[in-house]
């Protein structure tokens, strides 16, 4: 029995949609690994590292406060550990390794291979020639305890005499990722603080860096990344 042209059209459309759905779903849940960042930047690029730790089935992320007495526009706000990557210089992955080591004054050191093994990436293409990457890096219990015991004033004093040390951050705190996602403002306001719990169960009132909110917390890839970690 021959099928009518209209029937054949709807059958073709149905089959096409069935074949297309898995491709869309696979694309939606695809999470980059840090290995994809073992390349040099070809245009404007930013890479940030977000150390995370699981405690009692909850995810906490480590953020640093930009030194309050600095002259920077975002002095006193919390942010990831990141920096712009120079074009055709070291790889994006190498920059991530360097900046976390420098920003934490050597308290969080890891190799590129360790980052590849324990990291996941969210990516945002702000413009055709502007990429932003955030690497979520799982810290070990040993690294977590080391950061908790971190004497920041003493470390800053010691680090001030060393070369290649960044004194941009003056405080390091583990925040509830769920709390940040729930309470962070949808529209950035540099004067607006919001409450969030720390890993010690304390509720604190903080400001976040504008681009960390826009490019990381509001990144549509973040919910899938959270499921994967």
Query: What is the average per-residue pLDDT within 20-31?
Result: 42
How high is the pLDDT of residue 67?
A: 80
Nearest to 184 by CA among 100, 103, 104, 79: 79
Could you report the per-residue pLDDT of 62-90, keeping only the tens digit for each?
999 988 776 677 788 999 999 999 999 99
How high is the pLDDT of residue 14?
A: 41
Residue 80 is encoded by which pair of tokens? 């990831």
Domain 32-228, CATH number (from 1.10.8.50, 3.20.10.10, 3.90.79.10, 3.30.230.70): 3.90.79.10
* Reported confidence tier of residue 152, pLDDT bands at 50, 70, 90: low
CB atoms within 10 A of CB 14: 10
| Mean of per-residue pLDDT scores for the chain | 81
Residue 29 is encoded by which pair of tokens? 């849940």
Q: Which residue has the higher pLDDT, 194 or 70?
A: 194
The angle subtended at Cα 109 by Cα 75 and Cα 169, nearest 5°, is 10
How high is the pLDDT of residue 196?
A: 95
Give CA–CA dist 205/191, Å, rounded: 12
* Reported confidence tier of residue 166, pLDDT bands at 50, 70, 90: low
- Is the pLDDT assigned to residue 160 strictly greater than 70? no
Instruction: Compute CA distances 111 → 23, 37, 119, 141, 143, whole Å.
Output: 34, 14, 12, 17, 14
Domain residue ranges in the chain: 1-30, 32-228
Q: Which residue has the higher pLDDT, 34 or 168?
A: 34
Looking at 8-17, 34-43, 107-116, which range is the least confident one? 8-17
Looking at 9-13, 53-57, 123-127, 131-135, which range is the least confident one? 9-13
Could you report the per-residue pLDDT of 92-141, keeping only the tens digit for each?
999 999 999 888 877 788 899 999 999 999 999 999 999 999 999 999 99
Helix (H) or strand (E) holding 184: none
How high is the pLDDT of residue 109?
A: 83
Q: Which residue has the higher pLDDT, 98 or 12?
A: 98
DSSP states of 198-220 = BTTS-EEEE-B-HHHIIIIIT-T
DSSP states of 58-122 = EEEEEEEEE-TTS-STTTT-EE-EEEEE-BTSSBHHHHHHHHHHHHTTTSS---HHHHHHHEEEE
């Amino acid at each position: 029995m021959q099928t009518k042209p209209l029937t054949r059209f709807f059958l073709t459309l149905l089959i096409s949609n069935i074949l297309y759905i898995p491709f869309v779903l696979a694309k939606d849940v695809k999470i980059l690994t840090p290995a994809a960042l073992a390349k040099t930047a070809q245009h404007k690029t930013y890479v940030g590292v977000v150390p995370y730790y699981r405690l009692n089935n909850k995810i906490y992320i480590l953020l640093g406060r930009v030194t309050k007495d600095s002259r920077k526009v975002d002095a006193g706000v919390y942010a990831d550990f990141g920096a712009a990557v120079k074009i055709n210089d070291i790889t994006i992955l190498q920059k991530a390794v360097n900046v976390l080591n420098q920003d934490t004054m050597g308290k969080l050191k890891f190799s590129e291979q360790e980052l590849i093994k324990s990291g996941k990436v969210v990516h945002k293409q702000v413009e055709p020639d502007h990429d932003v990457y955030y690497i979520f890096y799982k810290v070990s219990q040993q690294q977590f305890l080391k950061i908790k015991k971190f004497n920041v004033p003493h470390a800053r004093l010691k680090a001030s005499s060393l070369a290649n040390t960044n004194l941009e951050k003056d405080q390091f705190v583990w925040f509830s990722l769920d709390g940040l996602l729930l309470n962070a403002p949808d529209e950035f306001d540099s004067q607006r603080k919001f409450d969030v719990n720390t890993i010690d169960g304390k509720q604190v009132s903080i400001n976040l860096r504008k681009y960390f909110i826009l490019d990381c917390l509001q990144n549509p890839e973040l919910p899938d990344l959270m499921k994967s970690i």
